[in-house]
Structure 1
Amino acid sequence: HAVGQQLGEVAHETLDELAAALAGERDDVRAWARQDVMRDVVIGDLDKRASRFLRSLVDGGAPFLDLLCIDRDGRVVAATDPRSLGQMLGERDWARTALRGEEFLSGPIPASDHVAAAMEIAAPIRLPETGTVIGAVLGLYDWQHVIALATRIRRTLAPHGLRVDVLLLDRSGTVIGESWREDVDGQAEEELRAAGARIVQRFATSPRRGYVTEAQAAALVGFAGTDDPKLGWTTLVIEPLAAAFAPVRDMERRLAVALAGVLLAALAVATFLARRMSRPLRALMLATQDVAHGGEPRRPVEVRSRDEIGQLAAAFNTMTAELKCAQDDLLTASKFAFVGEVAAGVAHEVRTPLGILRSSAQILARSVPAADPEGAELVQMIIEEVDRLDRVVGGLLELARPREPLVEPTPLAPLLARALDFADGQAREKNISIERVLAADSCPARCDPEQIYQVALNLIVNALQMVPGGGRITVRTLPRHDGHVGFEVIDDGPGIPPDAREQVFTPFFTLREGGTGLGLALVQRVVRAHHGTVSVDSTVGGGATFRVVLPAA
């Protein structure tokens, strides 16, 4: 009974996994139908944006043999297979259903000479403003993915002593998917297929989960049926009777022959388990005492098992890690609050000379002869940088209450070029060469241009201060990857020691004599406010690479 119930539960879980995988693909098709690019079906996808979008999905790993879109008249206007374009499919069941505004699911469609077995999944394309149906999306879900999933489930059961076969049948009892053990012969397969058909017919109107003994096929069969009327599937998990009851019979023999030995073994196991339970509990108690005394555990509590004690140890490790992060965040916040108070006083004193500098530069601009464009350019640069410094002063005043970034699509190449132009004079004074690897056509970032300009300038100036004379600095943009863009500042300076690498973004930590330890901390704070990341890669004597990654526009 217990073995049969186990097979029934395995059949139910297998069916749930298969249905969940299919539901995920239905959600994907529904989501694709809501994309803005799908509006192009109204104009027949003239610029092929919808076709390129569908092709990118398949190339990106979507498990579909084909994806296509039809317009309101049932004509294919976009497809991963160009041969489908222009075909009239409005009379197909999926097309009629989707154009009525309903989702469609059917299959699997049997394999033919040209098309592999697949599920038809369709969803209507609507105008979001009015909800009007303007077309439909069809995906031919590769049925081999379902078979592969059933095979993977079957193989994961083998290490647990369950060497089973898996069959998937429709409501009529027809086998639509199967995964066999390597040692099953053709005759056994036919007998088990016939047994599956009998089970589907026998339990069509009764409870949809359980197990039966098939004497003719000499097998114990666990079965489970789906509650989704659109599918009507039944999953069978089949184990030969000899294999299913072998552990029970073996246990009976062992109990009859060596009951005393089993009792002794049980006593030994109980002693071992008691010690095994007490050891992690003792380690957990010591770690708790360390935390209670205001410190942190000397090392994480070792997780030795997946039972309740192991879960408790893992939860304790997670708690202490989160507590450490919270303490670090609180320390960083308190440091920034202190810096904000100090910066407010300093900024108040700095704004007056900045105003004088700007006024003087404006007066000087009026006295520069028209024949001296270089002088006029330098004066204009002074005015622009004074204005930027004034904005930086304003940022210092808001240090204790940082402002939200004014996000807009911003090309990174011109922003980095401006920062490099500003730092070029300092580089020439130190005889440091700067290489620019800036892609003019790179994807823009979603960021506040002034804040990210300040980030780039801080990183470049930081590199100039660390690189000795005759050194080299490279600034380059990064191509779009996984919805993000960014840039790197690379130097061939002395590098960062491993023990200091994790602290370079900590407020007031600095490796440079006379440094404040705020530049990189502010860089990290600004980048995180943009939902980006900043990281450093360095080896002692091998220079350093600071990488800033931001969301792409």
Structure 2
Amino acid sequence: MKLSLATRIFLGYAVVLVTFGAVSLFSVAELHRNQQEIRLVSQGYLQLSQDAAALETFHTNQGKDTERLLDEQSVETRRALIRLARLYFPPLMAQRLAGARAKAQDILTFAPAGEVPFVRELEARFAELEIQYAAHGRTAEAIFSALAVESPDRAQVAERTSELRDREASIGRELRVVRAALDNRIRSRVDRAEERERRTGLAIITLSLVAIGVGLGATLLSARTLRPVRTLIEGVSRIGRGDYSAQLGVQGEDEVAVLAREFDAMARSLQARESQLKAQAEALARAEQLAAVGRISAQVAHEVRNPLSSIGLNVEMLGDALARATFHSEEEGREAHDLLTAVTREVDRLTDVTEQYLRMARPPKPTLVSENVTEVLGGVLDFSREELERAGVEVVRDFAPDTPPVLADEGQLRQVLLNLVRNSREAMPDGGRLTVSTRGLDSKEVEISVQDTGRGMTEAVRGRLFEPFFSTKEGGTGLGLSVSQQILQAHGGTLSCQSQPGQGTTFVLRLPRA
């Protein structure tokens, strides 16, 4: 199950809250247990221990008073001591034992379950002491009755005294046992409370550290979860500055990751749209430039072509007249002939330039028919063989045997290919290798590649390669590649260039299949 961003952050902090809540509950529970221990010791066992000590002291004093009574020789004094003993000891002892027993019963109301058997045992011991003190009181009363007469029966007194001392010794032992049991229990509970307090402190410290660690982990998880938001903001800022190449590359399935992927898709779409608009703007600017230059070129060519035709005709007539003329010397005749030849050559060059301007201004509409592109290429290379061999250029024909026919105007296609072959030759003044290849791309296009091993060109030159009147050759018109691109576009194809300095140049033509 995929959790949303908000759910994951909420769960992280919920875990933190639960952890700190558990630590707090544990601390409160341990504090409550410590309070129970303190109450059990201070309000229970400690008071019972004090009562047991008071009972033991009272019992010891009672034994001393009994010994004093037995040693007293005066009848009046014995009678006074007997009255005091009857008035003071029995009710006070009964009251103290009853109070200790009631206190033991009160401890049962707040004692932990583990302490109930011990308290029950204490209650039983105090009940037993009450029974023993009742028997002790009867024995003491018998002695008091025997000692109250003028001449007590010494044998009877001695027998009763022995019995009384045995009971006092038994009661004393029982009181010491109760007091020792309470002291041991108090010491045990205090030691246990101290040990629990130490363990509780360590546990609270450990759990607090764990809770802090969980909190830090939740914080780091939240920061990591929200980190793509910062990346997204930076990407939006880059898009705002016009940098459409921003790609976030956020992985995951949460809302931010989905938004980041949509953002990447939007950036790619904007980048493609910008490239398309830029290409369209460049094409529009080039078309406007070509249209303007075409109109000017057409006007200039029209104004120049007619005088050139007249000049050419007059030069031919002058040549005929010069052939019939006589000169004072052969050297004068040869010089006149050379001058006339130079004029003719320049007239032909200007005529050729004029024709190029006219082709650019009014490019003829191609007549598209099915053509065997390998045969057209072979004819162009055969036509250019002599000039390529003189330039030291090796030609490699890499025609795919299954190259399909194309829709093209043979004359215009020959013009484009011949221009590209001559450009490649001129790019290799010291010779090199020219590789011409063909292949079918898909069911729609055929690709022709013209690759040389010449000097290559920089990115700046390649960017302006198809601009009208831009040329890197001295004396070049800068119209050959521009016209070739126009011809390919009229065919429904494309002309592109790939080149790096020192690694040659490759022109790629793509034409529609027949």
Which structure has more relative contact order (CA 8 Å, sep 6+)? It is 2
TM > 0.5 between the two?
no
Structure of greater Rg:
2
Greater fraction of residues in strand: 1
The alignment's TM-score, normalised by the length of structure 2, stands at 0.42
